[in-house]
Amino acid sequence: MILAIIQARVNSTRLPNKIFSDIEGKPLIWHVVNRIKSSKKNEKIVIATSVNPLDDKLEEWCIKNNLDCFRGSEDNVLERFYFAARKYNGEIIVRITADDPFKDPEIIDEVINILISENLDFAYNNYPPSFPEGLDTEVFTFRALEKAYQSTNDPFELEHVTQFFYRNPQLFKQKNFSFKKNISNLRWTIDTEKDLEMARAVYKFLYKENEIFLLNDILSLLEKENWIEKINLDTERSTMYKNYKVNNEKD
């Protein structure tokens, strides 16, 4: 089974409760789920959150929306993924972060195709990055996930699920999927109020019920309304993104 695991918490560090921020009348987490549902390759979606009582709210939302919810370690996200994947029999896992309202189902399907067709352990589109931050897509096998879970106690690798893969390329057959040009300077994720303002602006122009707008739709909009991309370009990158660069010695 191809299983999308959406990692989500209510008590995010930089913008608490952001997964329930309103975008065009629906919470951010709803939009993330809705976009993943448009993937032609993915077969099941699970929300993986923590056992922190603050995340009871998210579990209740999942129940109301007929979504599977797995609860595990708050800090050891690698462990959370491992047990979620094992419970739901995921043979191929798509890692999704819940603060990315522009996840692109066509890119997800392409990365899944690369993993399967080339018999890889790990496929991704962000090492080195060429897509906007927030369109990151990582797909890996359960066998690779299990090996990582059994092999590392490094706090950074436990918190950031796929870092063991990047740091140990000799152990995993892996490949990057690049965009035709490098537009990784664009910021399409939500950590701050400015990020949320930018996302709301895009959705105001492009969102239509029962339709999914994609990467090229957003790029076309930004060409016409170039003020939108400037809203959050001065936002400091997340600790994860900075550590990613430092630990992998890549730009």
pTM, 2 dp: 0.92
Give Cβ neighbours of residue 234 (< 8 Å, ≥ 6 apart). 194
Lowest mean pLDDT among 13-27, 51-65, 137-151, 237-251: 237-251
Using alpha carbons only, how large is the chain's radius of gyration in Å?
A: 17
Question: pLDDT tens digit string along 18-47?
Answer: 999 999 999 999 999 999 999 999 999 999
| CB of 140 closer than 8 Å to CB of 93 | yes
Residue with tokens 């993943």: 36
Residue with tokens 């919810």: 69
Q: Determine whether 53 is exposed, middle or buried from the number of CB atoms within 10 Å of its CB (0-12, 13-18, 19+).
A: exposed
CATH hierarchy code of domain 2-248: 3.90.550.10
Query: Does position 139 have pLDDT exceeding 50, yes or no?
Result: yes
Give Cβ neighbours of residue 96 (< 8 Å, ≥ 6 apart). 4, 5, 6, 7, 32, 36, 103
For 87, the enclosing helix (H) or strand (E) is: helix 77-87
The mean pLDDT value for 138-159 works out to 97
Q: For residues 125 and 204, give the distance between their C-alpha atoms in angstroms, rounded to a whole number.
A: 27
* Reported confidence tier of residue 12, pLDDT bands at 50, 70, 90: confident
CA neighbor of 101 nearest in space, from 13, 2, 9, 24: 24
Classify 210 in phi/psi space as left (phi over 0), alpha (psi -120 to 50) or beta: left
Question: pLDDT tens digit string along 195-244?
Answer: 999 999 999 999 999 999 999 999 999 999 999 999 998 887 654 445 44
**Annotated domain spans of the chain:** 2-248
The mean pLDDT value for 133-145 works out to 97
Determine the distance from the C-alpha atom of residue 224 to the mean position of all C-alpha atoms in its chain, rounded to a whole number: 27
Return the structure tokens found at 242: 């900075």
Q: For residues 246 and 95, give the distance between their C-alpha atoms in angstroms, rounded to a whole number.
A: 22
Return the structure tokens found at 80: 């959370």
